[in-house]
Structure 1
């Protein structure tokens, strides 16, 4: 599902490490407090753990949150650890 998620208007990537032991409420709190964004919008929020082999996605469906979790069996995600790395990755894509 994460390969082709077209339901969201926007996608935000949380740079750096996120404690993936957090559930829906904990991730929604990060979105509100740390990023000053509203988790109750048509937005997909992506979080990655320290080992970069797992990600969680948080999405509001209008009547409740959807929490997606993906763990790679081998390899790791190329995840930006800072806003500078994120800007560099976007520049390379362009």
Structure 2
């Protein structure tokens, strides 16, 4: 479905975005609000104010791509922080698009010893 480089990172825009924005508008938003390069190959994920729509924006080898999803009856659970952007792991993006609350997922656990 998507051709995404394995090294691509996923960034979640935490402020609502006007869903009428398309390629140029989202590229400008990435630069102005997230302080990132839209041609990096990274994925940028946005939602609207009502949290029932999501757009995934990224650059794929020779052009911009926009992928969208809209819930009919439900809302996406969006994390809240002080910054404008949050980096996600790929599995968190899948959970988010499935409608799950990624705040309930724990951070990666590393152990020095196992009992």
Fold agreement, TM-score > 0.5: yes
Deviations 1:2-39 (A, max 9, x none): xxx68251000000211111111001001111221100
Aligned length: 89
Unaligned runs of 5+ in 1: none
Asked whether 1:93 is paired with 2:110, we answer: no
Unaligned runs of 5+ in 2: 88-102, 108-115
Question: Match of 1:7?
Answer: 4
The CA distance in 2 between the partners of 1:48 and 1:67, in whole Å, is 13
TM-score in terms of structure 1 length: 0.80
TM-score in terms of structure 2 length: 0.66
Deviations 1:64-83 (A, max 9, x none): 01111111122110012434
The CA distance in 2 between the partners of 1:43 and 1:12, in whole Å, is 7
Q: How does 1:33-48 map to 2 (within 5 A)?
A: 33-48=32-47
Cα contact 2:19–2:47 (8 A) shared by 1: yes
The Cα RMSD (Å) is: 2.5
Bigger Rg over Cα:
2
